[in-house]
Chain A
């Protein structure tokens, strides 16, 4: 029986702060009513920023807390920084949207805050139990957010679908966990890893457990064939929520996925690699093909995110330090591209409200040249055209795959990106060549404009100074693979 010391609290200071801030803001909201939403939103962004700073102040190196349930290392810090950035940007971008869509309630930022907390717990999970708990905290908040606009049938439907399928996936995940526990006799990642380092023979049961665990995690990152919820939820949920879904939870879940595969089961990479390869290939293929037929831009972004998850999984399939580095770089660049694209989608407003058909972007180049140019940058980048950031994202994972000898996977990745380029380019064609649709409302909200500009510049100029991101990702990957 271990006792709880103050030292245990140091690594969790950012989470502790965020939890306290979430509860305090909840109380503030309850007492001041829905009129205080903007205030609560601002404070939420501030809390996320402070948590970000606290993250930076953590002592370097790997520290465990709470009897090894929780771990902080460079990997966790890297992914958490991205998550916090994604969440903060989402709140910033959504403030105008939730006002105009009559869903301005103070619970919105508070739920985002709790979801973020769950994500951070996921990323730092060092035990199957803390993994599950973080996952549930995040998911529960997301289910609610998906249905947040409760008078809209589509949003409610999205929330319900997400919830039911999420519960199913949690069941799979728990089943996998119990199989693993049954074999290993422990839920702690380092202890499981120690077992294999000791050269214990691997039983089928454990592998099946890993398969179920993978299935549960694949649902969270929406990898094929556990992706079915994604298009419906992306389309049905309010756009601001979709923007959130597309960024922070994806990043956190991928971070968790990488840790849950590498930290306890790193020795078994040869066993689980084929599962990841299969998920990756299927995701790339479906992401590339199914997006072509879409007319709703949110749905298109859903398929796009499925495809991108497939690419990120290539890095995990490699299972090497280079591969993990590739995944992390991918996540960072993915964050910038998606935030930017959703900033554009969030400003697709005409006189009678929001629009979300792709055709509504028609002739954008004439009416809003700067916005169209930014969107074009994001689309080119998502398609992976050099020298934009998206190219480098793909480049690093594909290079890792080739180094790990996964040639077929790399070839499929390249083919997938060629097919996928079709629908990204189609958006550009619609913006630049097609006749003018009903012009979008001016002016764009200032927060959206700022987010758009910054992410466009990042995407455009990444190639000029990629060194800090590469170094950060390298250190993070090293901390995971050789702690």
Chain B
């Protein structure tokens, strides 16, 4: 039990600290790296709670794909972040004041947190016995949550359409591969057989 608690505080502490560093780091590349660290620790938290599937997905999708993509983008774009931060100090006092008060208020919320038994009763959904995480998720994903699943699919479809609409340009002078044209090619179109007599030259 103690070990679990220690692990929890370790992971949680590192997550919060690295999340802070994401916005505090001067170098954007460092920010992304801290983000990856935060993801890893979150995954650890998931493992602690017995949600291995989510932990693995987090690492594969967020660390493996999203964060790396971020990293590439940040490195490819030549953005002067110090310039963007200009004027930061100007808003600092007001921002800090609001931030601190909001933080206190949210802390009050947490302190006053009480979960009513009725609410607890509604929320309990222990994973069925003798079933892996993956199994259990799969069981509800396509039945109980089919609506959300399909809805998410539509969101992704729209995102894809959006990406294409906003960025795809038909550029001139680019040669494209056309599989159909390649397949349709016949020998006669491509090769001409010329009988070359010996010693005649072409």
Residues of A within 8 A of B (CB): 1-4, 12, 19, 23, 26, 65-67, 69-70, 105, 107, 110-111, 114, 117-118, 121, 129-130, 133-134, 136-137, 140-141, 143-144, 147-148, 150, 159, 179, 181-186, 191, 195, 198, 200-201, 203-205, 208
| Chain B, Cβ-Cβ closest to A195 | B118
Closest CB pairs A-B (n = 8)? A185-B123, A144-B162, A185-B119, A66-B147, A133-B151, A186-B122, A185-B122, A205-B109
Chain A residues whose C-beta falls within 8 Å of the C-beta of B69 in the assembled complex:
none
Most buried by A among B119, B123, B166: B119
Please tell me if the beta carbons of B158 and A137 are within 8 angstroms of each other in the complex.
yes
| Contact (A26, B161) CB under 8 Å given A195-B122, A204-B109 | yes
| Chain B, Cβ-Cβ closest to A199 | B118
Report if B126 contacts A (CB, 8 A).
Answer: no
| Chain A, Cβ-Cβ closest to B151 | A133
Please tell me if the beta carbons of B158 and A121 are within 8 angstroms of each other in the complex.
no
Please tell me if the beta carbons of A137 and B113 are within 8 angstroms of each other in the complex.
no
Please tell me if the beta carbons of A140 and B162 are within 8 angstroms of each other in the complex.
yes
Please tell me if the beta carbons of B165 and A183 are within 8 angstroms of each other in the complex.
no
CA distance A198 to B151 in the complex (A): 32
Other than the given A107-B164, A185-B121, 7 more pairs (CB < 8 A) read A1-B139, A3-B143, A111-B161, A133-B155, A137-B158, A195-B116, A200-B119
12 CB < 8 A contacts A-B:
A1-B144, A66-B144, A67-B144, A130-B151, A137-B154, A137-B155, A144-B161, A144-B165, A144-B166, A186-B119, A186-B122, A200-B118
* Whole-angstrom distance between the Cβ of A106 and the nearest chain B Cβ: 10
Chain A residues whose C-beta falls within 8 Å of the C-beta of B150 in the assembled complex:
19
Number of contacting residues on B, CB 8 A?
38
| Contact (A114, B158) CB under 8 Å given A3-B143, A130-B147 | yes
Please tell me if the beta carbons of B147 and A19 are within 8 angstroms of each other in the complex.
no
Chain A residues whose C-beta falls within 8 Å of the C-beta of B152 in the assembled complex:
133
Chain A residues whose C-beta falls within 8 Å of the C-beta of B122 in the assembled complex:
184-186, 191, 195
Report if B73 contacts A (CB, 8 A).
Answer: no
Report if B103 contacts A (CB, 8 A).
Answer: no
Please tell me if the beta carbons of A195 and B119 are within 8 angstroms of each other in the complex.
yes
CA distance A185 to B144 in the complex (A): 17
| Chain B, Cβ-Cβ closest to A148 | B165
Most buried by B among A148, A186, A201: A186
Report if B157 contacts A (CB, 8 A).
Answer: yes
CA distance A118 to B119 in the complex (A): 30
| Chain B, Cβ-Cβ closest to A208 | B109
Please tell me if the beta carbons of B112 and A205 are within 8 angstroms of each other in the complex.
yes
CA distance A26 to B165 in the complex (A): 12
Please tell me if the beta carbons of A69 and B148 are within 8 angstroms of each other in the complex.
yes
Please tell me if the beta carbons of B143 and A201 are within 8 angstroms of each other in the complex.
no
Residues of B within 8 A of A (CB): 105-106, 108-110, 112-116, 118-124, 139-140, 143-148, 150-152, 154-155, 157-159, 161-162, 164-166
Please tell me if the beta carbons of B154 and A1 are within 8 angstroms of each other in the complex.
no
Contact of A117 among B112, B118, B144, B154 (CB under 8 A): B154
| Chain B, Cβ-Cβ closest to A23 | B157
Most buried by A among B115, B118, B139, B145: B118
Please tell me if the beta carbons of A208 and B105 are within 8 angstroms of each other in the complex.
yes
CA distance A172 to B116 in the complex (A): 24
Please tell me if the beta carbons of A1 and B147 are within 8 angstroms of each other in the complex.
no
Chain B residues whose C-beta falls within 8 Å of the C-beta of A130 in the assembled complex:
147-148, 151
Please tell me if the beta carbons of A1 and B140 are within 8 angstroms of each other in the complex.
yes
Please tell me if the beta carbons of A198 and B118 are within 8 angstroms of each other in the complex.
yes
Please tell me if the beta carbons of B113 and A129 are within 8 angstroms of each other in the complex.
no
Contact of B144 among A2, A110, A147 (CB under 8 A): A2
Please tell me if the beta carbons of B115 and A208 are within 8 angstroms of each other in the complex.
no
Chain B residues whose C-beta falls within 8 Å of the C-beta of A70 in the assembled complex:
147
CA distance A203 to B115 in the complex (A): 9
Contact of B158 among A2, A140, A182, A201 (CB under 8 A): A140
* Whole-angstrom distance between the Cβ of B110 and the nearest chain A Cβ: 8
Please tell me if the beta carbons of B147 and A185 are within 8 angstroms of each other in the complex.
no
| Chain A, Cβ-Cβ closest to B112 | A204
CA distance A205 to B119 in the complex (A): 13
CA distance A115 to B166 in the complex (A): 17
| Chain B, Cβ-Cβ closest to A140 | B158
Chain A residues whose C-beta falls within 8 Å of the C-beta of B109 in the assembled complex:
179, 204-205, 208
Chain A residues whose C-beta falls within 8 Å of the C-beta of B159 in the assembled complex:
140
Contact of B151 among A65, A137, A191 (CB under 8 A): A137
Please tell me if the beta carbons of B165 and A134 are within 8 angstroms of each other in the complex.
no
CA distance A67 to B113 in the complex (A): 29
CA distance A12 to B118 in the complex (A): 31
CA distance A2 to B140 in the complex (A): 8
Please tell me if the beta carbons of B119 and A184 are within 8 angstroms of each other in the complex.
yes
Chain A residues whose C-beta falls within 8 Å of the C-beta of B140 in the assembled complex:
1
Chain A residues whose C-beta falls within 8 Å of the C-beta of B118 in the assembled complex:
195, 198, 200
Chain A residues whose C-beta falls within 8 Å of the C-beta of B119 in the assembled complex:
183-186, 195, 200
